Amino acid sequence: MDTTPMIDIKDLSVTFNRGRKPVKAVNGVSLRVRPGEVVALLGESGSGKSVTMRSLLRLHPAGTTVDGSMTVDGRDVMKLSKKELGNLRGPIVSMIFQEPRLALDPVYTLGRQIEEAIMRHAKVSRAEAAARAFALFEKVRIPSPERRLRNYPHEMSGGMLQRSMIAMALACNPKVLLADEPTTALDATVQIQILLLIRELQKEYGLSVIFVTHDIGVAAEVADRIAIMYAGRIVEEGMVSDIIERPKHPYTKGLLGARVELAHGRDRLITIPGAPPDLADMPPGCAFAPRCPQASDPCRSRVPDLVRQAGDGQVACLQYS
């Protein structure tokens, strides 16, 4: 088996310098994705998931400090020229977002936009691009593809629009799909359909996927492995079955507990009291300590390292180091 990772993020830190105090949104994240593997990046809002994804395509605003290294399909992302970066986005890495409406142009039909995406990277005629767009719409199971390709984004439902985005993401035959909460804005039944579609296409094309979500149930549904992020760091990582059946980090246990509570119709906020820390003013020790039911004094002064556990997983908690 090929063990060279498709994505290899090493010690990534991202700091935004625009405000009054620097904001360290990502703080020493390492993450590997093997070819054909689906990794869920899980965490509450503001934990640095999207910033991590955008780093892989170097999509940060000017003045952002990025440290560490990232390779995608053997390419050193930090060293790519503007032109090489253009050849990374699309043919190697595609990204889909929570809000497809923001990623699409309201003044062009969906067919036109997919054709343009195809023609940007492949030397094909408009007619050929149109035929491929049709095939892609069939692939993502949009009913009446010919008619739908002539629609503008506002004429589509949320679910159909997300299918269009997936078609667009596949337009250049990427090796990597970065999916940033692509089902969060959809209602539950549509969400499941989109998850199944992504999983099916992932298998068919052998895609490597990072699937960002705040929902541990969605992560378990879609991924092979789960990496849990808190306040810019990965606090636990492992195979889905290990994370779900034997969570180690108190935060992971909290996320699982929150789902159970939700199933019983109670407020999920009861389970993990408090809020994530201010990234511009981090506590000195473990970032989760202020909310952790098991925190002791050393937790409040020492940042725990991510330590490999028996088996495959890693945990950053003093209880396990």
Ligand X SMILES: Nc1ncnc2c1ncn2[C@@H]1O[C@H](COP(=O)(O)OP(=O)(O)O)[C@@H](O)[C@H]1O
Give the separation between CA 31 and CA 52, rounded to whole angstroms.
10
Sign of torsion, CA 203 206 207 212? positive
Nearer to ligand X, 23 or 140 (CB): 23
Q: Which of 254, 96, 277, 227 is nearest to 169 (CA)?
A: 96
Nearer Cβ to Mg ion (36/158): 158
Given candidates 1, 3, 20, 61, which one binds ligand X under the rule CB under 6 A?
A: 61
Residue 15 interacts with ligand X (CB under 6 A)? no
* 199 in Cβ contact with 205 (< 8 Å): no
Does 161 help bind ligand X (rule: CB under 6 A)? no
Q: Determine which residue in the list 9, 13, 39, 46 makes contact with ligand X, applying CB under 6 A.
A: 46
Closest approach of ligand X to the CB of residue 17, in Å? 9
Residue 65 in contact with ligand X, rule: CB under 6 A: no
- The verdict on 50 binding Mg ion (CB under 5 A) reads yes
* Residue 321 host element (H or E): none
Contact flag: residue 47 with Mg ion (CB under 5 A): no
Return the residue nearest Mg ion (CB atom). 50
Distance CA 314, CA 321 (A): 10
Q: Report the C-alpha gap between 300 and 219 in whole angstroms.
A: 30
Distance CA 119, CA 18 (A): 37
Q: Contact between 50 and ligand X (CB under 6 A)?
A: yes
Q: Does residue 63 bind ligand X (CB under 6 A)? A: no
Residue ranges binding ligand X (CB under 6 A)? 16, 18, 23, 25, 43, 45-51, 61, 279
Residue ranges binding Mg ion (CB under 5 A)? 50
